[in-house]
């Protein structure tokens, strides 16, 4: 009995040890469960906080008064990888294609050009927003293959990026080259070339030959531009070269404008700049080289002439003026010779081609609308008479003639899609559309100027509208429903000079000759593709007119 308590104590001790062991085996799982539960609560708290914060931001952005930005509608029909590039085919008229898309998607929509996004504007309200309100934002130009290869690596101010160089060149062209005083000093050139061309036309008429007026306008406008820019004339008596060389130069300029209107792979996908799939870049380099050789020869002659005493100020052409300016000016970015050649080529092409385009369409419209032609000639008989020639000073009195030019430019703007621009920074349009930096801007002037809300019977040729309901509209780009020469910082600086040539040429032609169609059929009004909206050459015979 003395050993029994000892045995009981031993058994109790063993039982106690067993119980303690069982308890210790439960501690770790219990601690793990408590830890996991805490972690889950922490995770749920974080997620709930993020969701609540996200909901608050979403609610704040999309429910505060008006300031909610949204994306511009994207046009359908984009293909994988290339986007809407298939719309830019050589046989398609882009301004008409985009105009039809505007009827479907609205006055503002976007398209994809390879890896780039472009904003297409087709109403005067949206044009005002982009070209006036947000003018500085959209003052840049995208760098494309043509502007580099044909535009002297962006030295041609019309295609230069927005910045100090462009601002300096814009100032030089506006103040020094296209001032009213400079344009007046060159009046004798316009009068001389027009007089020579009229005599040549008279000789053709007396021989009973049908005249291709498009060719006549082309030779005249090119001679005027050549003389004002470089002191040359390439057609007619006392030409600086033979007919073969003149035609070659004319073709080079047409090639330049055509190549500027095509799209190459690198324009859509910069990473493919090494691949010249169709050969456009090779053609650009060849055309640029030939034009550079020609301009280099002119520049050399001008420098030599200057070293020998130069010309009187009244006789200086644009290249003379540029030589003088660049000798004293500090224009950074390019050497003086490159700037001179690039600027003169810009002026030469812009001055001759857009003028040719406008005159060709104007005469074609008059031939198809004989009642308008008759009224224009009656106005000339009243204000000029038959005993003298038309002078530039007469134009201000020829209101109906001015209306004819305006209506021509409304129906057939020389550049239907105003020079493509690029957004320099993010911006938000008044409609709430968010436009990211780098977005390209395409303003469809052709579509805007045929908006039936503004222009009743928009496809009809009615010069009278500019004498009545639209008599206060001018060419300066302030009326966004009529922008044949653009608006804002990037508008055409040579507008005044170009209009003088157009008005005096058409007035003189109608004053000196009776013009008629070669047959009873209407003149074909087919347009051609390219940078400028030149009347198609495919049916050129129908644009011939006996004078």
Dist. CA 422–CA 515, nearest whole Å? 44
CA nearest neighbour of 221 among 359, 418, 368 = 359
CA 297 to chain centre: 30
Angle, in degrees to the nearest 10, between helices 213-230 and 243-260 = 90
Dist. CA 430–CA 439, nearest whole Å? 17
CA nearest neighbour of 420 among 70, 141, 96 = 141
Q: Which residues pair with 544 in a beta bridge?
A: 212
CA nearest neighbour of 352 among 262, 446, 227 = 227
- Strands 108-113 and 116-121, bridge-based pairing: antiparallel
CA nearest neighbour of 321 among 383, 212, 231, 243 = 231
CA nearest neighbour of 412 among 376, 371, 370, 363 = 363
Do residues 402 and 503 touch, judged by C-beta distance below 8 A? yes
Do residues 109 and 102 touch, judged by C-beta distance below 8 A? yes
The string over 63-101, giving b where at least 16 C-beta atoms fall within 10 Å of a residue's C-beta and e elsewhere, is eeeeeeeeebeebeebeeebbbbebbeeeebbbeebbeb
Q: Which residues contact 101 (CB under 8 A, 6 or more apart)?
A: 75, 109, 111, 120
Dist. CA 196–CA 204, nearest whole Å? 13
What sign has the CA pseudo-torsion 373, 378, 383, 389? positive
**Is 492 annotated in some ligand binding site?**
yes
Detail the residues annotated as belonging to a binding site for heme: 492
Detail the residues annotated as belonging to a binding site: 492
């Amino acid at each position: 009995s003395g050993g029994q308590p000892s045995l009981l104590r031993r058994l109790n001790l063993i039982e106690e040890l067993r119980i303690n062991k069982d308890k210790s085996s439960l501690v770790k799982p219990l601690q793990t469960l408590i830890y996991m539960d805490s972690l889950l609560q922490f995770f749920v708290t974080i997620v709930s906080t993020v969701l609540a914060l996200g909901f608050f931001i979403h609610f704040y952005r999309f429910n505060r008064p008006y300031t909610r930005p949204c994306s511009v509608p994207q046009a359908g029909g984009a293909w994988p990888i290339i986007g809407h590039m298939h719309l830019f085919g050589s046989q398609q008229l882009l301004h008409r294609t985009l105009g039809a898309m505007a009827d479907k998607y609205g006055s503002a929509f976007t398209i994809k050009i390879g890896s780039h996004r472009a904003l297409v504007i087709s109403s005067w309200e949206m044009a005002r927003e982009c070209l006036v309100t947000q003018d500085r934002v959209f003052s840049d130009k995208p760098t494309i293959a043509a502007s580099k290869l044909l535009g002297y690596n962006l030295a041609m101010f019309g295609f230069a990026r927005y910045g100090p160089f462009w601002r300096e060149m814009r100032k030089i062209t506006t103040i020094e080259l296209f001032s009213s005083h400079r344009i007046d000093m060159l009046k004798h050139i316009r009068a001389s070339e027009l007089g020579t061309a009229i005599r040549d036309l008279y000789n053709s008429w007396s021989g009973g030959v049908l005249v291709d007026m498009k060719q006549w306008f082309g030779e005249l406008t090119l001679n005027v531009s050549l003389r004002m820019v470089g002191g040359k004339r390439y057609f007619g008596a006392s030409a600086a070269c033979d007919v073969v060389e003149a035609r070659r130069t004319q073709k080079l300029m047409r090639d330049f404008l055509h190549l500027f209107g095509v799209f190459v792979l690198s324009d859509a996908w910069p990473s493919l700049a090494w691949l010249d799939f169709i050969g456009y870049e090779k053609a650009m380099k060849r055309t640029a080289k030939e034009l550079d050789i020609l301009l280099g020869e002119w520049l050399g002659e001008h420098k030599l002439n200057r070293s020998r005493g130069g010309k009187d100020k009244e006789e200086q052409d644009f290249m003379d003026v540029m030589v003088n300016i660049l000798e004293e000016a500090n224009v950074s970015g390019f050497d003086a010779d490159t700037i001179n050649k690039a600027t003169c080529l810009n002026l030469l092409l812009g001055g001759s081609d857009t003028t040719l385009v406008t005159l060709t369409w104007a005469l074609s419209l008059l031939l198809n609308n004989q009642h308008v032609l008759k009224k224009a000639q009656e106005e000339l008989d009243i204000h000029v008479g038959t005993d003298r020639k038309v002078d530039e000073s007469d134009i201000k009195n020829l209101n109906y003639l001015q209306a004819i030019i305006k209506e021509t430019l409304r129906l057939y703007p020389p550049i239907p899609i105003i020079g493509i621009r690029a957004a320099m920074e993010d911006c938000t349009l008044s409609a709430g559309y968010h436009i990211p930096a780098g977005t390209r801007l395409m303003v469809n002037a052709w579509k805007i100027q045929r908006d039936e809300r503004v222009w009743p019977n928009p496809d009809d040729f009615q010069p009278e509208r500019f004498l009545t309901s639209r008599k206060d509209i001018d060419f300066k780009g302030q009326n966004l429903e009529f922008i044949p020469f653009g608006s804002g910082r990037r508008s055409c600086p040579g507008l005044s000079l170009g209009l003088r040539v157009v008005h005096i040429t058409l007035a003189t032609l109608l004053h000196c000759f009776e013009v008629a169609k070669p047959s009873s059929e209407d003149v074909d009004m087919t347009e051609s593709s390219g940078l400028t909206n030149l009347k198609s050459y495919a049916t050129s015979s129908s644009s011939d007119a006996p004078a």
